[in-house]
Amino acid sequence: MAENLNLLTSTQNVIKTALDKLGYEESVYELLKEPMRILEVRIPVKMDDGKTKVFTGFRAQHNDAVGPTKGGIRFHPEVNREEVMALSMWMTLKCGIVELPYGGAKGGIICDPREMSMREIEQLSRGYVRAISQIVGPNKDIPAPDVFTNSQIMAWMFDEYSKIDEFNSPGFITGKPIVLGGSQGRDKATAQGVTICIYEAAKKRGLDIKDARVVIQGFGNAGSFLAKILYDAGAKIVGISDAYGALHDPNGLDIEYLLDRRDSFGTVTTLFDEKITNKELLELDCDILVPAAISNQITAENASDIKASIVVEAANGPTTSEATKILTERGILLVPDVLASAGGVTVSYFEWVQNNQGYYWTPEEVDEKLTKKLVDAFENVYNVATTRNIDMRLAAYMVGARRTAEASRFRGWV
Ligand code: NAD
Q: What pLDDT, on a 0 to 100 scale, did the predictor assign at position 157?
A: 98
Per-residue pLDDT at 368 exceeds 60: yes
**H/E element, 269:** none
Per-residue pLDDT at 1 exceeds 70: no
Residue pair 247/272 in contact (Cβ under 8 Å)? The answer is yes
List the residue whose alpha carbon is closest to atom 23 of ligand 1: 220
Q: For the residues 239-248, what does the mean pLDDT come to?
A: 97
Per-residue pLDDT at 115 exceeds 60: yes
189-340 matches 2-16+25-169 in CATH topology: yes
Q: Rounded distance, CA 324 to CA 328, Å?
A: 6
Q: What pLDDT, on a 0 to 100 scale, did the predictor assign at position 15?
A: 97
16 Cα distance to chain centroid: 22
Q: Rounded distance, CA 88 to CA 86, Å?
A: 5
List the residue whose alpha carbon is closest to atom 18 of ligand 1: 243
Give the pLDDT band (50/70/90) at residue 354: very high
Give the mutation target among 147, 215, 295, 348 for probing the ligand 1 site: most ligand atoms within 8 A of CB: 147
Per-residue pLDDT at 2 exceeds 70: no
Statement: 189-340 belongs to CATH 3.40.50.720: yes
Class of the domain covering 2-16+25-169: alpha beta
CA of 217 to the centre of ligand 1 (A): 9
Q: 16, 106, 236, 373: which one is catalytic?
A: 106
Q: What pLDDT, on a 0 to 100 scale, did the predictor assign at position 211?
A: 84
Per-residue pLDDT at 188 exceeds 60: yes
383 is in an annotated binding site: no
Q: Rounded distance, CA 78 to CA 111, Å?
A: 8
Instruction: Quote the mean pLDDT of the chain.
Output: 96
Would you state the torsion angle of the CA atoms of residues 221, 380, 335, 342, taken in this order, to the nearest 10 degrees?
A: -20
Ligand 1 atom at minimum distance from 294 CA: 32
List the residue whose alpha carbon is closest to atom 17 of ligand 1: 243
Could you tell me the residue ranges of all domains in the chain? 2-16+25-169, 189-340
176 Cα distance to chain centroid: 17
Q: For the residues 312-323, what does the mean pLDDT come to?
A: 95
Q: What pLDDT, on a 0 to 100 scale, did the predictor assign at position 46?
A: 98
CA of 304 to the centre of ligand 1 (A): 24
Please tell me if the CB atom of residue 328 comes closer than 6 angstroms to any atom of ligand 1: no
CA of 414 to the centre of ligand 1 (A): 37
The question of whether 51 is a catalytic residue gets the answer: no
52 is in an annotated binding site: no
Q: For the residues 145-161, what does the mean pLDDT come to?
A: 95
Q: For the residues 12-32, what does the mean pLDDT come to?
A: 97
CA of 108 to the centre of ligand 1 (A): 16
Please tell me if the CB atom of residue 319 comes closer than 6 angstroms to any atom of ligand 1: no
CA of 32 to the centre of ligand 1 (A): 27
Residue pair 192/229 in contact (Cβ under 8 Å)? The answer is yes
Q: What is the pLDDT of residues 260-286, one digit of tens each?
A: 999 988 899 999 999 999 999 999 999
Helices (H) and strands (E) in the chain, counts: 14, 11
Per-residue pLDDT at 147 exceeds 80: yes
Question: DSSP states of 3-57 as a string?
Answer: ----HHHHHHHHHHHHHHHHT--HHHHHHHTS-SEEEEEEEEEE-TTS-EEEEEE
Please tell me if the CB atom of residue 315 comes closer than 6 angstroms to any atom of ligand 1: yes
Give the mutation target among 242, 299, 370 for probing the ligand 1 site: most ligand atoms within 8 A of CB: 242
Say which amino acid occupies 71. G
